[in-house]
Structure 1
C-alpha cells in the first residue's frame, strides 16, 4: 500500500477551503449577519411572525455557515500541526489520527462546496413540493405516500420546517397527491433536483398472486413566491370552488366548506388546499402555490425561447430521474447522476442527502456545459 501523502492531502483541503471561502464571500457573509442581527433586534419584530421567522432563520443559517468556515480553517491548521509532531516524534498513532481527520475534513468541505453551487435565481427560497401518483393503480398511490414520508423524514433529519398543506387520499391505499411546504434557507435549491418522474419496482403487496409491479409517481418542486415577484392573476382567470375537507377513506374531518380548489383557466393548473380550518387561509395558501407554479412556468417558457433561438432543444432532465428497485434486488439509482445505493430502507427513511448533493453537482455541470455551448 502506498504511503499516505499528507502534504498533498492537506494542500488539496486548503485549496478547496480557499475556493469555498471565495465563492461564499466571507466579508459579504459577515456583513449579512450584521444586517440580520440589526433586523432581529428591531422592536416589534414579532408583530409580523412570518417575517420574523424568515429573518431569524436566515440569521441562524448565515451564522452556522460562517462557523463551519472558521472551524474548517482551524481544523486544517490543527491537523497540519499534528502531522508535523507525528513525524518529528515518530508517533504512528498521531499520524493515523491525522489521516482520519483529513478524511473527515474533506467530507465536510465537500458538503460546504454544495452551498457554492446553489446560485440559481430562486435557490435561496423556501420550496413547495407536490407529489402525484402516476401509472400503477393502487401501487402508485402507495408509492406516492412512501415518497411523501421520505421527504418529510428528510426534512426532519436536516432540521427543516415542513408543513403538509393538502392531501388527496386514494380509495384503497396511499394518496392521489400531496403538497407540502419546506421553510429553510436554500430549500428550493436543494429540493428542486428531486423534480421529475420516480419509478418503483417491487412485489406488489396489493396483488394476491404476488407479482412484480412497476409504478410511477411525479414530484414537482417550485419556489415559494414573494411579494416582489409580481405575478398578477386577474380574478377572471381563476375559478374558485369550496368543499368540505376530508381524510382517509373519505371520512369527513369537518363539516364546513373550508377546503379550496383554485383552477387557473388559461393554463388549466389546479391547486387544492385544505390544511387550514379557515377558508380564507386556505384560499391565501392556494393562491401562493398557484403563483409559484405560474412563476416557474413563465421562466420555463423564457428558457425554452432562448434554447429555440440558439437552435439547441434538449429533452428535460426531470423525466425518469430515479428508480427504486425492491425486487429482484435492492437498489435505488439516480438515472441522471449514476449515484446508487443498496440501502433502500435508509433512503425511504429520508437518507437522501447523497442523492441531492449528486443532483446539485450534476445540475451545475449541465448549466456550465450549456453556457459553454452558447
Structure 2
C-alpha cells in the first residue's frame, strides 16, 4: 500500500483549488452577489406582500442565492484553511496536524464534487421548481406501499436540504399505501436536480402483506415536471378543461372533509387528469390542480420539442420511461441505479432520503449522454 505524503496532500489541494475556481467561474460568484443585493432590495420593499405569489418567489430566490454564496464561500474557506494548516504542520513537523489535513481532504473532495454537479444543470428548465408525481404500478398492495415509501423518501430528501414542499394530492389505496401522490419541491433547480429520478422504480422484498412470506416484485412510476413560469406560454382555454368536484377522503375511504372540496381537472384535448384534495377549500384545490396541469402540459411540450430535435417519436402521454433503479431487500440488501451503476448496500438510508449520490451520478450520466449524442 502506497504511503501518502504531505506532498501528495499539497498536490490534491492544488487540484481541488483549480476545480473550485472553475466552479466559481461557472456559477459566476460576482453575479450571485449582485443578484443577492437586488433581491434583498426587493424583499425589503414595503408593498412586497401585496402580491403574495411575487413575495414568495422573491424570498425563495433570495434564500437560494444566499445559500449558494454561503456554500461556495465556506468551501473556499475550508480549502484555504487546509492549505495553511498543511504549510504550518510541515514547517513544525507536526504529524498529527498533517493527518488532520488528510482527514479534511476526504470531506473537501466530496463537497467540491457536489458543487461541481451544480454546474451541469444548464437545461432550459433546470433552474425551475419541480412538481413530482408518483404512481403505483404492477404489484398490487406492495406497489401501493412502495409508492408511499418513495413519497416519504423524496420528502425526507427535501427536508434534509431545507427545501419547502407542498403535497397537492394523495390518493390512498384500499388496503395500504398510495395509488398516487403529487407534490411540489419549491426550490430553484429542483427540476434539474430531480428530473433524473423520472422513470420506473422496482422493489424486491418479502411481502409484509403475503401471509405465506413469499418474495414480491413491485413497481412504481416517478414523473418530474418543471413548474410553469410567467414567461411560459401555456394557455388553457376554459372550454378545454372539465372541472369535477367531490368529497376528499383519507386512508380506508374515511372522510376527512364534509364538503365537496376536492377537485378533478380533465384536459379534454390531451386526456390529462389532475386531482387535488389536500387543501381545505375548493378554490385552493382548483388553483393547485391548475398549477399541476400547467406543469404537465409544459413537460409534454418540452418532451415533444426534444423528440423533434432528436428526430424521434416519443410517447409523452403518460410513459414513465424505462426501469431505472432497483431496491432489493431480499435475498440481499442493495439499491442500484441501472443507468449509472451507482449502488449502495444500505436501503434503509436511501428510503430515509439519502439519495444525493444517486442524483449526482444521474446528472453526470445525463450530461455524458447529451455530449455523446451531440
Give the alignment's TM-score, normalised by structure 2: 0.94
Structure 2 distance, partners of 1:262, 1:335, is 35
Residue 243 to residue 363, structure 1, CA distance change in 2 (3 Å): same
List structure 1 segments (4+ residues) > 6 angstroms apart after TM superposition: 311-314
Matched, 1:298 2:276: no
Cα deviation, residue 213, structure 1: 0.6
Is the 2:204–2:218 Cα contact (8 Å) retained in structure 1?
Answer: yes
Is contact 2:307–2:313 with CA below 8 Å preserved after alignment?
no
Aligned length: 369
Aligned ranges 1:251-290 → 2 under 5 Å = 251-290=254-293
Residue correspondence of structure 1 range 357-372 to structure 2 within 5 A: 357-371=360-374
Indicate the SS of the match to 2:175: coil
2:118 to 115, 131, 153: 115
| CA-CA distance at 1:242 after TM superposition | 1.0
Gaps of 5+ in 2: none
> Is the 2:10–2:86 contact (alpha carbons within 8 Å) kept by the matching residues of 1?
no
- Does the aligned pair in 2 maintain the 1:332–1:340 contact within 8 Å? yes
Secondary structure of the residue that 1:62 maps to in structure 2? helix
1:84 paired to 2:96: no
CA shift, 1:224, in A, is 1.2
Q: Which residue of 2 aligns with 1:235?
A: 238
Deviation at 1:77, TM superposition (A): 2.3
**Mapped pair 1:73 → 2:61:** no
Instruction: State how far apart, in whole Å, the 1-side matches of 2:257 and 2:109 are.
Output: 53
**Cα distance in 2, alignment partners of residues 151 and 173 from structure 1:** 19
Instruction: Tell me which of 64, 88, 96 is aligned to 2:99.
Output: 96
Matched, 1:156 2:171: no
Match of 1:222 among 222, 225, 247: 225
The Cα of 1:271 is off from its aligned counterpart by 0.2
User: Is the 2:250–2:256 contact (alpha carbons within 8 Å) kept by the matching residues of 1?
Assistant: yes
Which residue does the alignment assign to 2:354?
351
For 1:267 and 1:204, locate their aligned partners in 2 and report how far apart those are by CA, in whole Å. Answer: 37
Structure-1-length-normalised TM-score: 0.94
8 Å CA contact 1:126–1:186 kept in 2: the answer is yes
Per-residue CA deviation, residues 105-140 of structure 1 (Å, 9 max, x unaligned), is 222111111221122212222111111000001111
Partner SS state of residue 119, structure 2:
helix
Report deviation, 1:78: 2.1
CA-to-aligned-CA distance 1:153-212 (integer Å, 9 cap, x gap): 111111111111111111111110011111112111111111110000011111111111
Whole-Å Cα distance in 2 between the matches of residues 9 and 34 of structure 1?
A: 35
The corresponding residue for 1:140 is 143
Secondary structure class of the residue paired with 2:242: strand
Corresponding residue for residue 341 of structure 1: 344
Equivalent residue, structure 2, for 1:206: 209
Question: How far is the alpha carbon of 1:327 from its aligned partner?
Answer: 0.5
1:16 aligns with 2:10: no
**Segment of structure 1 superposing worse, 266-275 or 83-92:** 83-92
8 Å CA contact 2:158–2:165 kept in 1: the answer is yes
Contact 1:307 1:313 (C-alpha < 8 Å) held by counterparts: no
CA root-mean-square deviation: 1.9
| Secondary structure, counterpart of 1:329 in structure 2 | coil
- The superposition leaves residues 271-326 of structure 1 with CA deviations (integer Å, 9 ceiling, x where unpaired) of 00111122122111111111111111011111111111xx7999x99410100000
Match of 1:25 in 2: 28
The structural deviation recorded for 1:74 is: 2.7
Distance 1:313 1:134, change over 3 A: closer
Matched, 1:53 2:60: no
Q: 1:163 is paired with a residue of what secondary structure?
A: strand
Q: CA deviation at 1:64?
A: 2.1
CA contact under 8 A between 2:337 and 2:343: conserved in structure 1?
A: yes
